[in-house]
Each structure stands twice: as structure tokens, then as C-alpha cells.
């Protein structure tokens, strides 16, 4: 997903909303027997400032499905996470946490990937405090 900053500027469209879905990268998930059961849904507002930096702010949501990390019972978890970033043109004044972009095109790929990765839990449980014995317990 891209934002064509030059085109937006040319058309005087300095703000907008993006609403789209993309396939979550399964290699980001570090929980055994768990995968994305839905595409990741993104709803993001963007604003292009006078210095051509672009603020992107919104929400990502997706569902994980698989085996409870403790008892292996099938389970699901719906995850909603806030997403926010500033994209600064290459050579502009970017802080360390900002993303940069070049040639007038903001590519959201890395930001989306980072946001999903940050939102992923380290385990999935069928219920709050699932207390079944560890599957591997001897
Ligand atoms: Zn469980």
C-alpha cells in the first residue's frame, strides 16, 4: 500500500483515509500452531504537511487462530492495535522512530509489518489464566 505524495499535493488532497486489507506475514508469528485466520484490516488517516512529511494514524485489526499455548485447545484471539508513524522525505528532518521515503511515494509496507509484529502476543490462551498442565510436562 502506497501514498503518492506528489499526486496528492498536485490535487490538493492533503488528508485522506485508507481502508484496506492485506495478508499478514505468517513468518512474524512465533507461537507454535498459530496463524492468521483473517487478513489484517487497516483503517488509516493520513495528513501531508507543508514540509512533505506524512503523518499516518489509525488502527490495524486481525484474528489469530490456533492451539492454546498451554492446553492445545483450539482458540482464537481478535487483536486490535493502534498504528501511528511519521514518514519524512529522504534528506528531511527525521527522528529515529520516523520512516523515510523517496521519490514522492510513501510505502507503508515496513510500517505495517512493524506494527503487526509489535502487536503480536508471545502466546495464545483459550481462556484467561488457562490452567491446564503444560502439554510437554512429563
Ligand atoms: Zn488452554
Q: How far is the CA of 127 from the centre of ligand 1 (A)?
A: 6
How far, in Å, is the centroid of ligand 1 from the Cα of 71?
4
Q: Which of 19, 120, 18 is nearest to 63 (CA)?
A: 120
> What separation in Å is there between the alpha carbon of 42 and the centre of ligand 1?
29
d(CA 107, CA 129): 40
The cell numbers describing 60, all together, are 490495524
133 vs 14, higher pLDDT? 14
- How is the chain split among helix, strand and coil, in percent rounded to 5? 15, 45, 40
Q: All 3 cell numbers of residue 104?
A: 514522492
**What is the rounded distance in angstroms from the CA atom of residue 91 to the CA atom of residue 33?**
43
Q: Name the pLDDT band for 6 (thresholds 50, 70, 90).
A: very high
Domain boundaries, the chain: 2-119
Distance 74 CA to ligand 1 centre (A): 8
Place of cell 509489535: 118
- With cut-offs at 50, 70 and 90, classify the pLDDT of residue 22: very high
- Between 49 and 94, the more confident residue is 49
**Cα gap 55→74, rounded to integer Å:** 39
> pTM for this structure?
0.89
Average pLDDT value over all residues in the chain: 93
When pLDDT is cut at 50, 70 and 90, the band that residue 138 belongs to is very low
Which pLDDT tens digit goes with each residue over 57-99? 999 999 999 999 999 999 999 999 999 999 999 988 889 999 9
Amino acid at each position: 500500500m502506497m501514498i503518492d505524495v506528489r499526486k496528492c499535493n498536485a490535487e490538493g488532497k492533503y488528508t485522506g483515509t485508507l481502508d484496506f486489507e492485506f495478508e499478514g506475514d505468517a513468518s512474524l508469528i512465533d507461537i507454535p500452531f498459530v496463524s492468521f485466520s483473517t487478513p489484517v484490516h487497516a483503517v488509516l488517516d493520513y495528513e501531508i504537511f507543508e514540509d512533505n512529511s506524512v503523518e499516518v494514524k489509525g488502527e490495524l485489526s486481525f484474528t489469530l487462530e490456533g492451539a492454546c499455548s498451554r492446553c492445545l485447545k483450539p482458540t482464537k484471539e481478535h487483536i486490535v492495535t493502534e498504528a501511528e508513524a511519521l514518514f519524512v522525505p529522504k534528506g528531511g528532518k527525521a527522528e529515529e522512530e520516523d520512516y523515510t521515503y523517496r521519490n514522492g511515494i510513501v510505502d507503508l509496507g515496513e510500517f505495517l509489518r512493524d506494527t503487526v509484529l509489535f502487536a503480536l502476543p508471545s502466546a495464545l490462551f483459550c481462556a484467561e489464566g488457562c490452567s491446564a498442565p503444560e502439554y510437554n510436562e512429563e
